[in-house]
Each structure stands twice: as structure tokens, then as C-alpha cells.
A and B are shown apart, each in its own frame.
Chain A
């Protein structure tokens, strides 16, 4: 796996017994002990994820706000220093380039967090779209490492390592401060549906910070958690994953992310005309979430069958919910079929899909 990119914590993971796999060109820990046990640890107490493969981009300059509001579908004007915004950014077709977090540090000073597998594509897209705007873009992806501490005990664990008053940082807010002596952007965000923090910090400090978190988390039962649990946690919470629920062909409206598309924000943004038309005419397809009452996992790309047995869509994501102990997933189906009976054929057994409005489990996030 020598051609794969590595985070500063690659050897830390190996030393802790991780199973390392190729994830979007990165050598990443998919699990340490057990995906199911790691998942439950995050719901019960806390988990530590290395998500240093995620990309970071600085957006600075007099027209940073105007540029960002042109780039993304959500309304960046709502941000103030210390506030985080989730948004898709779209192609003119309404399909999704990527979904990202926008951090406002100061007027004219923003910071984006983008998906690892999309860094090259996104950075090229950002530079292309920034033409004509008075902004300076800098790809900071290799400068930053990113640790996510997630779960009901995350607050106590991180608080034990910092003088920053974490209870003053609301959900989707951030502050800058030191954690275990390491300068961090302390962001109360995550991808698990639990309370927690994401700590952006200099790549060179990653091992020291990870070790400090592990030590502080010991008494709380914090576990090292891999990308396997990260995926089942996000699906249980009903969060989209780029390449599954949102893609170049699945718009945020189709994906049920209408709350992130501010058609009337007072700025023309990329994809607005297409999304306006989709909203006016109704989407042909929609993303639905389901559970089955059965343990057989309904895997991505499985055809979805309508009431008469005809194919009406396909599965986008599927896993076993470790909390519900049954298969859960998402599917893209025709809008017409979405209100009728849906099923999948797994090795000759017809399994009915019970549609669910996520989250699948009760979440305790702040």
C-alpha cells in the first residue's frame, strides 16, 4: 500500500492494532477491534476518529463572502465569527460537487472543510469559480490534521485537556485555543449524530494530541474508532455521504437536503436555476431511508422493487444498525414509487423496506 497517502497518525493506528485499508487513496483505519463495538462505544461513551484525510482550504479577501455565497447553496451571510455552516456546492445542473463545512474566522477570513476523496476536484473547482472575485484561496489540506472526539463523554474528555470553556461553544460553533498544549480550531461538529468536537491542528502535533486524548479518555472508556464505525454512525444519524446520497447526479433537493438550499438568499449561486426548476416541477426521484426488520444487510446498488415487482430505484448505502440490530439504508427511488410498497431481493428472499425519517435512533447531540 506504499502508493497510498498517509495521515500523520498512520503508525499510531498500526501500533494500536488497526486494520488499514485504502479509502479514497488514503491508508486509513477501517477498524481497530470491531466495527459494531466501536459504533456502540460512540453512542455509549466516546470514540476518537482520525479524519486527517479531510481537506481544508482558506478563503480570504475582500470578496470572500460574495464568492462563497455564489459557490454554495446555503446562505453564508448568516455566518458570524465562530459559526460553522454545512452546505452542498453544486454544478450548474444542480448535481453536487461536494458537501462541506464553512467556518467564519473573521470578516474576509473563512475556512472550508471538504471531503478527502474530492480534494483535487474541489480545489480545481474552487479556483475556477473564484476567477473574477477578489479572494485568495490556499489549499491547506496537508498542513492540518483532524481528530474527531464523538460521544456523550466527548465534552468531559476534551474539557480535561483545555482551558477553553467548551460549554460556551454551541453546536456548529467553534473557537480557537489549545488542547493538550496543541493549537486547535475547536469545532463542536461531527458526523456521528452525537455531541462531540473536531479538532483541526498542525499535522506535526497529531501524534501528541491523539495520545493525550487517548490518555484522558481512558477513565471514560473512550475507544479508538475507525472509518467503518464512522460510516454506520452517520447512516444511523441519517447524514448523507458524498458519492452515495449526494452525487453529481443527485441534487440536494432530491437528497432531502432542501434546508441547505436557500433559493431566495438574494445571491445567484451555481446551480440555482436548475434547483429552482427542480423545486417548481417536482423531482423525478427522491432519496429515502429504510429499515427492514431483518439482519441481512441491503448493500449499495441493490435494485429496489416497487409494488408490482418492477425496478423503481437502487440502494445508495446499507449497513446493519448496531443499535437497532437490523438492516438500515438509503435508496434512490422514483418519486411516484416512494409512497408505495418497496422491497429488495436478497439471495432469493423478498425483503420489505420500511421507510423511516432519520435519525434511526434517538440522538443526544446538543
Chain B
């Protein structure tokens, strides 16, 4: 059973978003996503200052099995990336909702996070 914390919001493309309440948010991939990918071997993240629209590719996550695109769940500007993942990408497997986070963004629209799936809707999506 995949973990789906109730305080996060989710994109159908299996990223999670945690709003800080100050117009910024943290983005990562879900437990379901990391489990489907298997051993994560490389995470390619954007540069600070890059801007993305919702649904745009912001990076790549590689597992032994395949390389998969990462999609921005909401629009925003990158203010920080988790550079620890360069050396220890397996952190995404181990703690996808904590130290395995991928980027922090300044939201283009603070209300956009609320429009994403809530935990119950995401749980239903992954069945």
C-alpha cells in the first residue's frame, strides 16, 4: 500500500505539492511513483530561476528500468532545488515526502495548489 499523506496535494502525473502558505511550495514525487520506478539512480533538476507552466517538464528521474519526465504540477519559478539528490538519489525511494523532495517554487498563483487532487482523490487514482 502506498503512503498518501493527507496534508499534501497531488498531480495526476504523480508529483506531490506542499504549500508553505507564503506563496511558495515544495514539489516531489509520490510514494506510489517511487515504488513504480524502482531503484532511483539519477535525478535531473532545473536551475534556480527557471519558470514552468503547469504540466511542463521540469526534470527527469532515472531508475534502473527507465528514465521518466517530471512534470510541474503547478506554474511557478524555481527558488531552490534539492542538490543532495545528486549524490544520493535513492533518498527519493526512502523518504519521498521528506528528504526526497525535489524543488521549491514561488507559485505563479497561490490558489493553484488547492485545485490539485486531495489525498482521497489521489488514492482513488492509484487504486
Contact = CB atoms under 8 A, between A and B. Distances in A.
A297 B62 contact: yes
Interface residues of A, number: 14
B64 A232 contact: yes
Contacts of A297: 41-42, 62, 64, 67
Given A295-B89, A299-B67, A36 B39 contact: yes
A31 B35 CA distance: 12
Contacts of A320: 41-42, 64
Best-buried of B62, B64, B67 by chain A (most CB within 10 Å): B64
If over half of A's interface residues share one DSSP class (helix, strand or loop), that class is named, otherwise mixed; here it is mixed
Interface in A1-28: 19
A310 B41 CA distance: 29
B88 to A, nearest CB: 11
Given A35-B64, A319-B64, A347-B60, A295 B42 contact: yes
B31 interface: no
Contacts of B49: none
A260 interface: no
B37 to A, nearest CB: 11
Nearest to A37: B39
Given A295-B89, A296-B62, A347-B44, A34 B67 contact: no
A19 B35 CA distance: 11
Contacts of B39: 31, 34-36
A35 B38 contact: yes
Contacts of A347: 44, 60, 67
Contact of B38 (A34, A232, A299): A34
Nearest to B86: A295
Contacts of A228: 38, 64-65
Contacts of B67: 297, 299, 347
Nearest to A319: B64
Interface in A241-274: none
Best-buried of B41, B44, B90 by chain A (most CB within 10 Å): B41
Interface in A107-124: none
B42 A31 contact: no
Interface of A: 19, 31, 34-36, 228, 232, 295-297, 299, 319-320, 347
Given A228-B65, A297-B67, 13 more contacts: A19-B38, A31-B39, A35-B38, A36-B90, A295-B42, A295-B62, A296-B42, A296-B62, A297-B41, A297-B64, A299-B67, A320-B64, A347-B60
Interface of B: 38-39, 41-42, 44, 60, 62, 64-65, 67, 89-90, 93
20 contacts: A19-B38, A34-B39, A34-B93, A35-B38, A35-B39, A35-B64, A36-B39, A36-B41, A36-B90, A228-B38, A232-B64, A295-B41, A295-B62, A297-B41, A297-B42, A297-B62, A299-B67, A320-B41, A320-B42, A347-B44
